Amino acid sequence: PRLALGCGGAVVCEELGAVDGYGLDPEIWSSRRLEGVIDFAALDVAPSTRRGFAPSPAADAFFVALRGLEPRLRQILDEERARQREQEDAHLVREIRNVFRPLARTLPQYDFFDIQSTGRGGNGDAGPYGEQLGATTPPVEPGPAAETATPQGVLEPGEPGDGPTEPMLFPPGPLHSVRVMPARCRLLPGATRGLAARAADEQGRVVTAGIAFRWQVIEGDATLAGDGPKATVTAGETLGQTVVRVTACQDERVCEADAVIEVVETLAGESPDSGVPDPRRAFDPTSDWRSRVHEGRWEYNAAHPDYRAVADDARQRLRYLIHLFAKEIVLHNYGEPNDDRLLERMVQVLTHIKPAVTGKNRSRPS
């Protein structure tokens, strides 16, 4: 769509915003969001071509009047843009949930979130554990998870340190801390899942040599089987809280960590929202965060340069928000202090990868 300039019924300029020398705001007149023809009969138009017009007092007055309309037009366009963004956000919420809904069952080792939402715009109130979304330090209260029982056996927690590691110049130091992953989760009565303990030195490096682990249920109704750094816990039939404790010993050094398990009637993954909160747009141009938790809600920073780079492309914007929410899930389950900075850098790289270098667009070797 274009907004043209006419004179006496003839179009003298295909695009009004392209007229130079009169100080029109191109973000309004060339935005392609206005269309039609503005006809001003007093323009001095060449009789032969009927294209363009000569400068004149009438033309000057005409464009002064147009500039006077700009504040109101800008307001109208901003309101229309806000309505469009609201509709797009509602669509994004559905798309994000469609992407993550299967993960509550295909990746049951990951905790999801129990945050209430309005279904439009993400302004719902947080659930009882909503403030823990994206936390990188252990909270005082237990957080939510999406978990399910499986007839095939135990669900392994997917410990990140189980795979090959880079060689270290110096071996890790003595035992300094231990943590359980996941530190909090939800189970249906009778459901079973895996837990993993990670012992670390003072610098956070994994310690494996000379570590003995002991697992025990210190609160609640559950059956526990521990084997070294891994254990399986089966929830009892009583709803409520169960606390599993692991004790790591290395010579005279002893460290403890707890995992809190909520035995519940239903899981976040069984609800239509599947533990995926509404994304809420925030504007914070003075900060470099991409997504965060504020007052128990998941927010993304619409003023960040990475968001602005994808804001006009619905597919890229959806992919960007999917990456951000994946970051929050990883942080929620396995995050440690400062991990959020590293994961946000990963989101930055993924945001600027061009689709042309992947998939069917890649040239085949000869």
pLDDT below 50 — which residues of the chain? 116-166, 272, 357-366
- State residue 334's pLDDT score: 67
Residues 6+ apart with CB under 8 A from 314: 88, 91
Q: Identify the CA nearest to 111 among candidates 137, 139, 134.
A: 134
Residues 6+ apart with CB under 8 A from 206: 161, 165, 172, 198, 199, 200
Q: What's the rounded Cα separation, in Å, for the pair 222 and 169? A: 42
Phi, psi of 297 (to 5 degrees): -125, 150
- State residue 306's pLDDT score: 92
- Model confidence, pTM: 0.51
Encode 51-64: b = buried (16+ Cβ within 10 Å), e = exposed. eebeeeeebeebbe
Spatial contact of 149 and 190, defined as CB atoms under 8 Å apart: yes
- State residue 134's pLDDT score: 28
Order of strands, sheet of 253-263, starting from the edge strand that comes earlier in the sequence:
184-187, 253-263, 240-250, 212-219
- State residue 182's pLDDT score: 80
In degrees, to the nearest 5, what angle opens at C-alpha 275 toward C-alphas 269 and 278?
145
Q: Which residue has the tokens 């999917």?
A: 322
Dihedral (C-alpha) 297, 301, 307, 312: value to the nearest 10 degrees? 80
Phi, psi of 80 (to 5 degrees): -65, -40
Spatial contact of 53 and 7, defined as CB atoms under 8 Å apart: yes
SS3 36: strand
Bridge-based pairing state of the strands 184-187 and 253-263: parallel
- State residue 127's pLDDT score: 33
- State residue 253's pLDDT score: 92
Q: What's the rounded Cα separation, in Å, for the pair 50 and 5? A: 12
- State residue 69's pLDDT score: 92
